[in-house]
Every structure is written in structure tokens, then in C-alpha cells.
Amino acid sequence: MSTFRFYKSSYSGSQGECVEVARNVPLVTAIRDSKDPAGPRLIVGAGTWASFIETLKTGDSAAP
């Protein structure tokens, strides 16, 4: 599998308690804890991630 390139949001502070996301691999998004870069990664479909982000933006708690 390709190497993921993880990024923190520009909204993240310097506290070190952040989620990092990699979207450079086609069709998937990888998520990890910034405090444990070698630790486990959650990998979801790109569409699932897009739906999650849209739900966060709109606040639509009824989304599937």
C-alpha cells in the first residue's frame, strides 16, 4: 500500500492532542492520533469521510 501523508488541521493548537488525516491514497482516508504516529490507523472510504465532514459542517445529526 502507498505511504500515507498525514496532516493536522490548521485549527489544531500546539497541545499535541490532535487527529491527523491522510487523503493522498485514492478511495480511502486514513486517520490517526498525532500523539502516536506509529500506532493504529483508522481507514475509511473517501465517501464515508466526506459524509462525516459534511455532517460536522451542517450539524445534521439525522445523517446516516
**What are the pLDDT digits (tens) for 19-41?**
999 999 999 999 999 889 889 99
Handedness of CA 13, 14, 19, 20 (dihedral sign): positive
Nearest to 19 by CA among 4, 3, 5, 35: 35
Q: Can you give the residue range of the structural domain that contains 34?
A: 7-58
Q: What grid cell was written down for 12? A: 489544531
Please indicate, yes or no, if residue 40 is contained in any of the structural domains. Answer: yes
pTM score:
0.78
Please indicate, yes or no, if residue 1 is contained in any of the structural domains. Answer: no
Please indicate, yes or no, if residue 15 is contained in any of the structural domains. Answer: yes
Confidence band, pLDDT 50/70/90 cuts, at residue 63: low
**What's the CA gap between 56 and 46, in Å, rounded?**
15
Mean pLDDT over the full length of the chain? 86
Please indicate, yes or no, if residue 64 is contained in any of the structural domains. Answer: no
Please indicate, yes or no, if residue 63 is contained in any of the structural domains. Answer: no
Domain count, the chain: 1
Please indicate, yes or no, if residue 45 is contained in any of the structural domains. Answer: yes
Please indicate, yes or no, if residue 32 is contained in any of the structural domains. Answer: yes
